[in-house]
């Protein structure tokens, strides 16, 4: 995979539940991480005392974070509504030259900041709220 432009990693939200995704505007930095808990099944009979893990067990999670500046009143308002109404709409994360991850996410944090001589900024954190799908590009 060749070097990719960071601005091409996009977070999109289904604005009204009709499957039409819109990029969350104003983001400058985005990140997605995947995690899987392990289930330790090591016993006295484990070969050489090495840890053994149960295949396919444990909870899988994904988290998304982004930060940026206010650019689009519509997506800003939708993000606030999702947070305050505790909604879990579909989101997409477009990972350049890799694929698209899609599924329900809950916005778990929104932070607003600003300084007297700079622009107002925000940070947003999302947690997966169900099974995710992956479509290769």
**For the chain, the helix, strand and coil percentages under 3-state DSSP, each to the nearest 5:** 15, 45, 40
pTM for the full predicted model: 0.85
Count of C-beta atoms within a 10 Å radius of residue 112: 10
Spell out the domain ranges in the chain: 6-136
Instruction: List pLDDT tens digits, range 87-123.
Output: 999 999 998 888 999 999 999 999 999 989 988 899 9
Predicted local confidence at residue 28, as pLDDT: 86
Domain 6-136 maps to which CATH number in 2.40.50, 3.40.390, 2.30.110, 1.10.533?
2.30.110
């Amino acid at each position: 995979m060749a070097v990719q432009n960071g601005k091409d990693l996009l977070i999109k939200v289904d604005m009204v539940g009709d499957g039409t995704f819109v990029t969350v505007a104003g983001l400058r930095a985005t990140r997605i991480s995947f995690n899987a808990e392990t289930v330790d099944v090591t016993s006295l009979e484990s070969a050489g005392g090495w840890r053994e893990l149960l295949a396919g067990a444990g909870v899988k999670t994904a988290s998304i974070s982004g930060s940026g500046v206010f650019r689009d009143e519509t997506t800003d308002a939708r993000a606030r509504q999702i947070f305050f109404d505790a909604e879990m709409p579909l989101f997409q994360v477009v990972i350049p030259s890799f694929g698209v991850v899609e599924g329900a996410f809950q916005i778990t944090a929104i932070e607003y900041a600003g300084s007297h001589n700079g622009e107002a900024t925000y940070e947003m954190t999302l947690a997966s709220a169900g099974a995710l799908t992956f479509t290769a590009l």
